[in-house]
Structure 1
Amino acid sequence: MTIQDFEDAFPQGTFDDIVRNPLPDSTTRVVNINYPSNYRSAIHYFRAIMNAKEYSERALKLTDYLLQLNAANYTVWQYRRDILVKLGMDKQIECDWIRKMSESNPKNYQIWYHRQWCLENEKEIENVIEELNHLADHAFNDDNKNYHAWSYRQWILKNFNVSSDQELDFVEKMIDLDVRNNSAWNHRFFILTRDESVNWENELAYVWKKINLAPNNEAPYVYLAGICDKFKSAENSEIIKNALKTALEMEATFPKTIPLLTFIVETSRQHNLMSKEELFKRIECLATEIDPIRSNYWEYVKMIYNGK
């Protein structure tokens, strides 16, 4: 993104009534920040405007300019929000602006927080759906594992009445695009564990289908372990037993597969579903043959199990 020189963005006379408030003298510091001249000019006027508590269109434009130069300046972000509130500005206009900002700064925390602020009091569900669609079309297209984008999406689901079916369709598409996307699997877990109508046996079948596509892919096994942990109470033990039964059947097809064997060992020992002899045979295989880099961990697992 090309940023105008300060003199081009703010024609002569724009701030004639303002006495600049320069940044503190840094001649005594060990290391000085070498601010670009346009940032230095803008921040000097911003400091003066903020001290004067001026909430105006030109102050808003100045925050826009500064944030394009340095999107991590949280003081400028907060003052921008103060201006928007004081002027009673349309948040939908601000939503459009922040979307453009997020496209050029997809990993900036302040931008995602501001995006959340723009939406938090939204009354129209159509605008919320539009925001979800924008995320799908832009943020996830550029980086389908962007932590900020996934966290923001979950915040939307927590705070607005969005259809679980619609969101499940989205996350299935994301998993189909990249079955190794841990973020998508995590999001699926977030959606389904909030839905009391889920058929978990069908969900297990879905997971094993995805595991068959890439047996060495750790992501669905972690997801599966999360499901087993959710149903660790006695009344739900059949789900865990069925998951382990399928895992043991797959072991014949995909022997010595690290994440599969890890799931079998960890699930069996945590829920006491396998004989010590069978369990130790698999731990030994992991420690000495297929996962020796974690041999100390597997010896520790064996020691913990012996201590029961």
Structure 2
Amino acid sequence: MSEVLYCDNPEWKDVTPVPQDDGPNPLVPIAYSKEYSDAMDYFRAVTSTNEKSPRVLSLIEDIIEMNPAHYTVWNYRQVVLFALNSDLEEELNYIDEIIAEQAKNYQVWHHRQVIVDRLDNGDREIPFINAVLEEDSKNYHGWSYRQWVVKRFNLWSSELSYTNDLLLFDVRNNSAWNYRYYVLFNSPILPSDELLQEEINFTQKQITLAPNNSSSWSYLKALHEKTNKPLQSFEPFLKTLIESKVESPFLLSAYIDIYEQNAKLEKAPVNNAALEMCLELANKQDAIREKFWNYKKQKLEKLNNTQK
């Protein structure tokens, strides 16, 4: 950042700064630093005259260093870059440095998307995103941006195997499970019945390794729904877990879903075992959600009354 205030910089003598106008009686005025107020006064001035120049880019860099979440500043940077026909690969290098310190800053991720879209080249994006997710495997902005990149540049082919590696390292990575679902059902080539069965087998294996992981259970249920088969179709897997003496609230929850769906399909009362499981979850296995399971039990009892 410049060590000299813009008001003292000879290169900016031709610009009349525009102070911030908070009105005559601001309720809670923000105590900006002297450097930030000075830079913003000149930013308002150059935007009012629509100046697009290298010195404006430098001014914007100073402001971003002080406030990297300033959306308007990022937006005007794009306008200036495109007007000057700037080297956008160099801009990506600049963004690399910013994201290294601001990995959860939405504005810088959006700026990168705009620049890459303008370049019409995503060659460096997957390695870049991989590096970010290695630092924080659950970075929401990184995953969201990855979805855009893969769709924008048709980079679907290796994405399932990428999530394989992440889940083998950490089966509880809910972001990887969510992204795996996105890849499977948003790719231009929809999954075959064979691939869906492979996914079911893969997920069941992960559940066996970590039966108390909610993400893999949710993924398994979603897969079965996508196959248009009744939930009862994965009851044999549940029985293998019971035989292995697995205790998991998600195991009982899956059984409750099966019993509820069966009752609706057959227009018959819900199996009493489902009501008992609700009590088991409310009083023991998932007591933190006691109110939910009591509500679920009441809902099933109400369903019984309507099925009679």
Query: Shift of the alpha carbon at 1:11?
Result: 8.5
Q: Which amino acid aligns with 1:264?
A: Y
Query: Over residues 105-131 of structure 1, what are the superposed CA-to-partner deviations in whole Å (9 max), with x where a residue is unaligned?
Result: 11111111111111124434xxx2421
**In structure 1, distance between residues paired with 2:22 and 2:283:** 62
- Partner residue in 1 for 2:102: 105
Residue 201 of structure 1, aligned match among 197, 202, 220: 197
Query: Structure 1, residues 129-175: CA drift from partner, whole Å, max 9, x if none?
Result: 421111101x11221111111111111122221133x1112111221
Given the alignment of the two structures, is residue 157 of structure 1 paired with residue 144 of structure 2, yes or no? no
Please give the secondary structure, in 2, of the residue aligned with 1:133: helix
Task: Give the aligned partner of residue 33 of structure 1.
Answer: 30
**Contact 1:26/1:32 (<8 A) preserved:** no
- CA positional deviation for 1:64: 1.2
Q: What are the within-5 Å matches in structure 2 for residues 114-133 of structure 1?
A: 114-124=111-121, 128-133=122-127
Q: Distance in 2 between matches of 1:241 and 1:123?
A: 47
State the alpha-carbon separation in 2 of the partners of residues 268 and 155 from structure 1.
39
**Counterpart code for 1:140:** L
Moved more, 278-287 or 268-277: 268-277
* CA distance in structure 2 between the partners assigned to 1:296 and 1:277 by the alignment: 19
Q: Does 1:211 align with 2:204?
A: no
Deviation at 1:254, TM superposition (A): 3.9
Letter in 1 for 2:251: L
Distance 2:288 2:40 in 1: 52
Task: Indicate conservation of the 8 Å contact 1:225/1:267, yes or no.
Answer: no
**Aligned 1:235-274 pairs, distance under 5 A:** 236-237=229-230, 240-272=231-263
Q: Indicate how the Cα distance of structure 1 residues 179 and 129 shifts in structure 2: closer, same or farther if over 3 A, else same.
A: farther
Counterpart AA for 1:219: S
Residues 64 and 73 of structure 2 are in contact (CA less than 8 Å); yes or no, is this contact kept in structure 1? yes
For the structure 1 residues 196 and 65, does the alpha-carbon distance in structure 2 shift closer, same or farther, using more than 3 Å as the test? same
Matches within 5 A, 1:72-151: 72-124=69-121, 128-137=122-131, 139-151=132-144
Unaligned runs of 5+ in 1: none
Q: Could you give the per-residue CA deviations for residues 92-114 of structure 1, whole angstroms, max 9, x where no partner exists?
A: 22222112211111111111111
Q: Distance in 2 between matches of 1:299 and 1:183?
A: 30
Change (3 A) 1:29 1:262: same
Deviation at 1:266, TM superposition (A): 2.2
Asked if structure 2 preserves the Cα contact closer than 8 Å seen for 1:251 and 1:261, the reply is: no
Distance 1:210 1:10, change over 3 A: farther
Can you list the C-alpha shifts for 1:43-98, whole angstroms capped at 9, x where unaligned?
A: 11111111111000000111111111101111111111110121122322222211
Counterparts in 2 of 1:145 and 1:267: CA distance versus 1, 3 Å:
farther
- Describe the shift of the 1:140–1:248 C-alpha distance in structure 2 as closer, same or farther (beyond 3 A): same
* Aligned-partner residue type, residue 287 of structure 2: P
> Kindly tell me: are residues 144 and 48 of structure 1, through their superposed partners in 2, closer, same or farther at Cα, counting changes over 3 Å?
same
Answer whether contact 1:189 1:223 (CA < 8 A) is retained.
Answer: yes
Q: 1:281 aligns with which of 276, 295, 302?
A: 276
SS at match of 1:197: coil
Which sits farther off after the overlay, 289-298 or 172-181? 289-298
Question: Which TM-score applies when normalising by structure 1?
Answer: 0.87
Q: Which residue of 1 aligns with 2:171?
A: 179
The answer as to whether partners of 1:6 and 1:38 remain within 8 angstroms in 2 is: no
* Aligned partners of 2:156 and 2:183 also within 8 Å: no
Relative to structure 1, the CA distance from residue 175 to residue 255 in structure 2 (aligned partners, 3 Å threshold; closer, same or farther) is closer
How big is the alpha-carbon RMSD for the aligned residues of Structure 1 and Structure 2? 2.4
Partner residue in 1 for 2:162: 170
Residue identity in the other structure for 2:92: C
**Letter matched to residue 150 of structure 1:** W
Residues 260-269 or 61-70, more deviating: 260-269
How many residues get paired? Answer: 295
C-alpha contact 1:6 1:42 (8 A) present in aligned 2: no
Larger displacement relative to structure 2 (77-86 or 115-124): 115-124
Kindly state the Cα deviation for residue 207 of structure 1 after the two structures are TM-superposed: 0.8
Aligned counterpart for 1:221 among listed residues 197, 214, 217:
217
